[in-house]
A and B are shown apart, each in its own frame.
Chain A
Amino acid sequence: MEDKDLISSYLAGNEKSFERLIDRYTKPIFGFIFRLVKDLGIAEDLTQETFLKVWKNFKKFNQEKNFRTWIFAIARNTVWDFLRKKKPILFAELELKEENFLKNNLVDEKFLPDKIIHDAQAIEFLEEVLKKLSLPQQTILWLYFKEGFTLREISEILGESPNTVKSRYQRALKELKKFFPERRDAP
């Protein structure tokens, strides 16, 4: 059953359909939130908070839009609100981090493309690299590569213009590419 059908069914009074939607999105939303807050307990709380907001605002949801985009936008807002309350100064600095990141990080040449894909260490390495990126950059990369959203959908989730998202994405990718050099042609 697709999201649209479940939404229609829920709005027609079938509570179980909403529970199925919750079940469908709990894992990706939790994964997304955990990626941003990096704390299991907080991620669990914020995931619950996100679904509570979804439930409260369900009638405002425009059914012609993508539910998945909408729910991720709510999750993102929930995390942003939490971070603003929790660490107002750090949150303001997140954008600055974007500018300064690579000045302090050297490229690790030992990770070559073929190795990267298969080596579990590379995943750890990527996680470490991601942590050094700004929060908006991390969010964009996660949504693009992990969740498979398009840049346009990401711009809807983040509430930013597609051009801003595109330039952030390109900048983030540029930084990542320095860690993951492109494949050289075989000799």
Chain B
Amino acid sequence: MDFTEKQLFKIFSQIESPEPRFNLTEAVIQRIRRRRFWLFMPLAVSVWISLAIFLVFLGQQLIASFSNSGFFQFLSLIFFDAEAVLLYWQSFVFSLLETLPVMSILIFCLVFLSLLFSLKIFVQGLKKKLATI
């Protein structure tokens, strides 16, 4: 490096750039947060709507399962032959359980709880994001 380069290093080191008119670092962080929020929002909403539609479908399936399983026929015995039900209550309970569409109920509950849980997270996230914007 010759003398001129040394000089230039010194002179350049003395050149000061002007300061931005506001806290640029904070502005950048806020802008990224806003962008992240708007990227997250439609995705979260569409996932939630899809889950809700799926839940309606599962609800219909659940009702059909109950109808086809004979569960309601057994259950109606309580009103038509309460004495027999009381007398053979163990067999009655067992029959009810046997005809219960367990899998449909489980899937429905799982999706329903997921929906509630995701709604909770979504609302919490939304509050947090709105607080930082």
Contact = CB atoms under 8 A, between A and B. Distances in A.
A32 to B, nearest CB: 8
SS class, residues of chain A in contact with chain B = helix
A113 B3 contact: yes
A55 B39 CA distance: 13
B43 interface: no
A176 B17 CA distance: 20
Nearest to A127: B15
Interface stretch (B28-36, B50-58, B76-84, B94-102): B28-36
Given A116-B7, A182-B4, A44 B20 contact: yes
A17 to B, nearest CB: 12
Interface string A124-136: 0011000000000
Interface string A118-161: 00001100110000000000000110011000000000000000
Contacts, number: 83
Interface residues of B, number: 26
A113 B27 contact: no
A145 B8 contact: yes
Contacts of A145: 8-9, 11-13
A52 B31 contact: yes
Secondary structure call for the B interface: helix
Contacts of B2: 182
| Band of interface residues on A | 35 or more
Interface of B: 2-5, 7-15, 17-18, 20-22, 24-25, 27-29, 31-32, 35
6 contacts: A26-B28, A30-B24, A31-B17, A51-B28, A116-B7, A182-B2
Interface of A: 19, 22-23, 26-27, 30-31, 34-35, 40-41, 43-44, 47-48, 51-52, 55, 113, 116-117, 122-123, 126-127, 141-142, 145-146, 173, 176-177, 180, 182-183
